[in-house]
Structure 1
Amino acid sequence: MKSKLGLLPILFLWSVSAIAQEAPSTLDEVQVMPADTLKVQAWIDLSNAAMRDNFELARAYGDSALTLASQLGDEKRQALAHRQIATAAYYGSQLEDALEHYGAILDYYRRTGDDMNAAKILNNIGLVKRSQAQHDEAMQYFFEALRIKEQFPDTNSLAYTYNTIGETFAIKGDFAQAEEFFQKALAGFRAADNVPMVNVMLLNLGGFYRDQGDAVRALEYIKDSKEYFEVHGPKRELARAHYLLGGLYLDQGDLPKSKSSFLRSKIYFDSLGATMRSLGCVLNLSEVARLQGDIPEAKKLAGEALDQSRAIGTNEQVARALQLLSALYKAEGNYRQAMEYLEAHYEVQDSILNEQSNRTIAELEEKYQSEVKERQLAELSATNQMNELNLKKQREQTRLLLLFAALIGVIALLLFNQYRAKKRHNDLLLEKNAIVQASLEEKEVLLKEIHHRVKNNLQFISSLLNLQSRHVLDPGSQQVLRESKNRIHSMALVHQKLYQEDNLTGVEMRSYIVNLLDSLLHAYQIDRTKVAVRIELDDINLDIDSAMPIGLILNELITNACKYAFAGREKGSLLVELREQANRLRLCVSDDGPGLPADFRLEESEQFGFELVRSLAARLKADIQVESRPGVAIALDITQYQKV
């Protein structure tokens, strides 16, 4: 499944953290400077330079600038310091902190009538709102910034806002509008000869065309911009280029290249302290691992992303991590866990919708309170015009009642929409549960039928061997046919157990071994009244890949005992043992017969039966011990097996 979440272009605030034209003073030089406005500016320059590679360091320098500017009462440089702190907080995914500092800057620029800088801050606030998935509110800030900037002949600044609007249209799915604004932004930066931002726009367009399925143009734009940022920086744009390449390679199914690109991007974002961007890499690395078939690694990465996204409160990434974990558990056949994660995913999606509804209600409430305050001020200021006051009061009351009625109507509509969304969600869950249950039942019937048919086919082969043995006069050949028939019967018994029991993936070993033993004793005409058979078995259910080789090994060992241990004897004893001890299965068959030849070595034996035992033991990673005391005891300590 193609995943675009987190791969849409993002704008880094070049207008806020532009590259300094001259190298700033070193940290040691700044620390010894006198505490004046020059030192404040030096701290700001250091923060600006650090913004290319280390957001935490940029934040620390911005804090130093703000502290000193506040002590000096320098409002202008306080605003500049707030800007550095807000930008570093944005890149570091501290979104509420970023909003607080941007709000302080906006208040200053509005008080001083600096409309152009106010417009730039409005643009940046919109970026933070967009990162919080508040896309409509972000658009309001972007277009307010655009209206102000259009009053000034600043092509470069206009281009920044064109780009942010284009990105947001792309996120909302309006790709025609998105491309129009992206091209406007690119033309603006080229007209202003802003080479760094031309390359940022090429990178954004590369991501945009990737989302449109135009892989050729996307790869061309992304690689061109990556080559520029590898030489000129900043590191954050190089990280984004690798991120977009990872997504493009993921779309094309080139998983090794996709993994390499996402890992490089994560390294850069981690060094920058860009937690939210790094989480996007982790989620995509989990998707790559899933497609590569490495489900444990995919689950590990998705789990880490879930914990971190919950810690920083990015609900969209929480929802994606939950959805990915649901798909991974489903791939493992753990449908219950998959459904739990899917339900958690829908709960987070609902919470995102609820947050948007709550914000709408809060805005209406704020407007209502504003109206109340205006009415109270009007009453206090019009004490000398009682008649006019009464008339205005009636009008205000009517307006307030209408507003309140509208508020109630909006709240009712929101609650009704929320109820409908919840109902649709519940209906969808019920429908999916029914589909999953029907699919499980259908697969269970199909699996039983498969095991039944395999068992019947094996029985048919056994019958053919039985018929063949009647026409073979050579005793040695008859013996070979009988042993082959017994081996086939041991395998058929496994499939019979699977389709006769409720557990289609596991074999109850106690009943299986008892049935196998009875069958072999009957085949070799062993009198149970003369041969004491002792069975020591634990209650163990094994999957078919473990039960089948164990059954074949038992068939060979019991067959060997029946052929050689009781020939020409009135009495004898046979022990069959299967026990689990310390994460190992102990399988043992022993008899009290004449024993093995003195020079017998199982690992050197060329008999087919012992060769088969050795081969199956290697598959189960089992150690074989052979004792002859007299009698024969052959034991296997099995380490590779799977219980169900």
Structure 2
Amino acid sequence: MPINVRNACYTFAFLISFFTHAQNSGQNTLNFAKEHINRNPDTVLFHLSQSIHQGGLLDSQMPEAYRLIGICYHIQSRFDSALLYFEKSLDLATLQSDSDMVAKSRLDIGKTLLAKGRMSAAQEHFTEVLVYFEEHEMHDEIVQTLSYMGFLFQRSNDLRVARKMYDRALQQPSGRKHHLMISLATWHGRMNQPDSALMLYDSLLDLPDIQNDYLIMSRIHLNAAIIYDQIGNHEKVIEYSRKALQYNHQLGNLSSKGVIYQNLTQYHFLRGEYERSRVCLDSGYYCAQKVGSLNVYIKLLGIEVEFEKLDGNYRRAEYLMEKYDYLKDSLHRQRQADLAQELNIKYETATNKQRIAELELERKDAALSLARANNQRNIFLSGFGLLIVIAGFLYFQYSTKKKTSEVLTQKNLQISDALAERETLLKEIHHRVKNNLQVISSLLKLQAGSLEDEAAIDAVKQGQHRVKSMALIHQRLYSADDVRGVDIQDYFDNLCSELFSAFGVDTTNTDYHVATNGLKLDIDTVIPLGLIINELVTNSIKYAFDEKTDGMLRIEVSNEGDKLIASVADNGIGMDEKKLSDSNSFGWKMIRSLSRKLKAEIKVHSDQGTTVNLIMSRFKLVK
């Protein structure tokens, strides 16, 4: 049936439903959307947008409407738009205290972040909403969440943990498990068990209730075509790929169509069916350019290079290869930038949570001070009034003063307890922040283990060291008696020890010395300073010594008037001062950015090694 005719049928069905149930038009719209969303998301988007524009929905129905719009965009692989509407749904549901919708919107945000490759952020959402769903026995949502978590670990190449998640989902007493079975089939494919995967796909195709669910049907046929390609069943590859194209065409998912055309282009090319391969190549280019899918475009470009070589067009093949390499590098840089942005968001979130907790403690301190001041004022007024009115009753005055003294003693004890509680709470905050940073460090280590590109591995490991340097600060704070500041002698000793250990430095050939003159710095100073020192020490370890047997790295910090001077020096091979200062690497960008926060001037000297001096104007010492 042509698409326009289908849209007309859906529109006619919607209008009949609308006028039949006019007394509850908003709910009718939402019901219609949920019924047709997996068959014709474009029609659902149209009617939901119309209802919102015309004010046909109640305020209480808006979070669900925004969530359904987000699902439409997610089905079509338009993930940025999907994320925008899921966040709108989350904000409104939070304002309306709709806990179920808050949890569902967070699940949707998690699955969208997973689709965009932001694994750690997605896992954070999944972990938190799973607790809510299990507490409220929401079995459909539990199955969905565990299925997404399994797929997340599967993408991270941790197939053992992925299978545990799938098994937990299968043990749920109820819940719609079609998408779970598809994910489990892909797991069997990864485990080189094509027969098990195809058995699951065939069992799903036998279910009558999914025949009109184009989203599920498209996923089954796309993934099954890949399995049939693995076992060499040519007819099934073509049959299932064509059906997957039809379903994704109905769903308006150009991104998935691009992937299918890419698979078919490569499939026909490897079989020597060059004419069919070229047709699929052109169609794949169209879809990839339409939705901006750089990954699919690059893979198609690589196949076109081989076509040009076959035709003897070596100059054009060389031109296309240069374009291929450039775009591949661009994609790699974009992924690195996305990872760095995610780390920054994690750090800012942790900092904001700590700041909120500190403000809450300050508010409690202010309330305690006000209560004490009010008590003292009331006591003074009572005593003065008693002295004037009943000056002759000395015994009564004595009794009153005694009671007042007891009240003051009790209040002072309460204040002391509150201050002790504040100290304990601050330590707990630092402990939790340290644990969160350790989790991030572990995730980065896991991510590094799954990468193959050496530059990406090095970038992720550097990020891990930076996160670990911040974790050390919070570890020192919750371990110390005084949580106001950090003993930087102890901190920098531990930081150097960690870095020397991480890079496998032989301390018999290269050693370090830390001298900080017994200084203690507050956390707002030591975090940026620690990150800068971490970066400089890392650079020295990696580049300075070049097999020296008497290498020495020195870190010195001193307070001179209104300046705090930090120095990192090595006796290594030295570096060009201007080149080092003008460096545009991520590490030096971060050093300059953090230096601005400390109002610091950076000076680099290269004389019998390299010395970097940091002269800071904005800092806070802790006595």
- Classify the TM-score, shorter chain: 0.5 to 0.7
Among 21, 39, 45, the residue aligned to 1:53: 39
- Provide the rounded CA distance (Å) in 2 between the counterparts of 1:302 and 1:30: 43
Is the CA contact 2:11–2:43 (under 8 Å) kept in the aligned structure 1? no
Larger radius of gyration: 1
Is the CA contact 2:179–2:216 (under 8 Å) kept in the aligned structure 1? yes
2:80 maps to a residue whose letter is: E
Measured on the aligned residues, the alpha-carbon RMSD in Å equals 4.0
Among 55, 75, 79, the residue aligned to 1:91: 75
Deviations 1:226-270 (A, max 9, x none): 222586431221122111221011112223321221111011101
Residue 271 of structure 1 pairs with residue 250 of structure 2: yes
Is the CA contact 1:259–1:288 (under 8 Å) kept in the aligned structure 2? no
Aligned to 2:15: 28
Secondary structure of 2:171 counterpart: helix
Residue 344 of structure 1 pairs with residue 327 of structure 2: yes
Deviation, 1:353, is 2.0
Is the CA contact 1:368–1:404 (under 8 Å) kept in the aligned structure 2? no
Secondary structure of 2:39 counterpart: coil
- Provide the rounded CA distance (Å) in 1 between the counterparts of 2:180 and 2:122: 20
- Provide the rounded CA distance (Å) in 2 between the counterparts of 1:185 and 1:24: 37
Residue 154 of structure 1 pairs with residue 138 of structure 2: yes
- Provide the rounded CA distance (Å) in 1 between the counterparts of 2:158 and 2:191: 11
1:356 maps to a residue whose letter is: L
Deviation, 1:284, is 0.9
1:70-81 map, 5 Å: 70=55, 74-81=58-65
Deviation, 1:326, is 4.5
Aligned to 1:236: 215
- Provide the rounded CA distance (Å) in 2 between the counterparts of 1:147 and 1:303: 47
- Provide the rounded CA distance (Å) in 1 between the counterparts of 2:530 and 2:28: 53
Among 130, 153, 160, the residue aligned to 1:169: 153
Output the TM-score relative to the length of structure 2. 0.54
Output the TM-score relative to the length of structure 1. 0.53
Residue 144 of structure 1 pairs with residue 128 of structure 2: yes
Deviations 1:109-151 (A, max 9, x none): 3334443332222111111111112122211111111122222
| Structure 1 gap segments, 5+ residues each | 1-22, 422-644
Deviations 1:516-566 (A, max 9, x none): xxxxxxxxxxxxxxxxxxxxxxxxxxxxxxxxxxxxxxxxxxxxxxxxxxx
Aligned to 2:347: 364
> CA 1:199 to 1:128, structure 2 compared with 1: closer, same or farther past 3 Å?
closer
- Provide the rounded CA distance (Å) in 2 between the counterparts of 1:413 and 1:267: 57
Is the CA contact 1:266–1:281 (under 8 Å) kept in the aligned structure 2? yes
Aligned to 2:524: 400
1:270 maps to a residue whose letter is: H
Deviation, 1:364, is 3.4
- Provide the rounded CA distance (Å) in 1 between the counterparts of 2:40 and 2:110: 23
> CA 1:353 to 1:255, structure 2 compared with 1: closer, same or farther past 3 Å?
farther
Among 188, 198, 205, the residue aligned to 1:209: 188
- Provide the rounded CA distance (Å) in 2 between the counterparts of 1:235 and 1:260: 16
Aligned to 1:355: 338
2:27 maps to a residue whose letter is: Q
Aligned to 1:594: none
Is the CA contact 1:59–1:85 (under 8 Å) kept in the aligned structure 2? yes
- Provide the rounded CA distance (Å) in 1 between the counterparts of 2:358 and 2:245: 55
1:293 maps to a residue whose letter is: G
- Provide the rounded CA distance (Å) in 1 between the counterparts of 2:342 and 2:38: 34
Is the CA contact 1:319–1:348 (under 8 Å) kept in the aligned structure 2? no
> CA 1:165 to 1:315, structure 2 compared with 1: closer, same or farther past 3 Å?
farther
1:210 maps to a residue whose letter is: G
1:132 maps to a residue whose letter is: K
- Provide the rounded CA distance (Å) in 1 between the counterparts of 2:266 and 2:251: 24
Residue 130 of structure 1 pairs with residue 254 of structure 2: no
Is the CA contact 2:126–2:149 (under 8 Å) kept in the aligned structure 1? yes
Deviation, 1:374, is 8.7
1:57 maps to a residue whose letter is: T
Deviation, 1:287, is 1.4
> CA 1:383 to 1:172, structure 2 compared with 1: closer, same or farther past 3 Å?
closer
Secondary structure of 2:135 counterpart: coil
Deviation, 1:275, is 2.0
- Provide the rounded CA distance (Å) in 2 between the counterparts of 1:338 and 1:412: 41
Aligned length: 388
Aligned to 2:28: 42
> CA 1:365 to 1:113, structure 2 compared with 1: closer, same or farther past 3 Å?
closer
> CA 1:371 to 1:200, structure 2 compared with 1: closer, same or farther past 3 Å?
closer
1:105 maps to a residue whose letter is: S
> CA 1:381 to 1:180, structure 2 compared with 1: closer, same or farther past 3 Å?
closer
Is the CA contact 1:322–1:345 (under 8 Å) kept in the aligned structure 2? no
- Provide the rounded CA distance (Å) in 1 between the counterparts of 2:68 and 2:534: 40
Is the CA contact 2:205–2:211 (under 8 Å) kept in the aligned structure 1? no
| Structure 2 gap segments, 5+ residues each | 1-9, 371-418, 420-481, 487-519, 544-583, 588-623
- Provide the rounded CA distance (Å) in 1 between the counterparts of 2:354 and 2:164: 40
> CA 1:178 to 1:208, structure 2 compared with 1: closer, same or farther past 3 Å?
same
- Provide the rounded CA distance (Å) in 1 between the counterparts of 2:360 and 2:294: 42
Secondary structure of 1:26 counterpart: helix
Deviation, 1:300, is 4.8
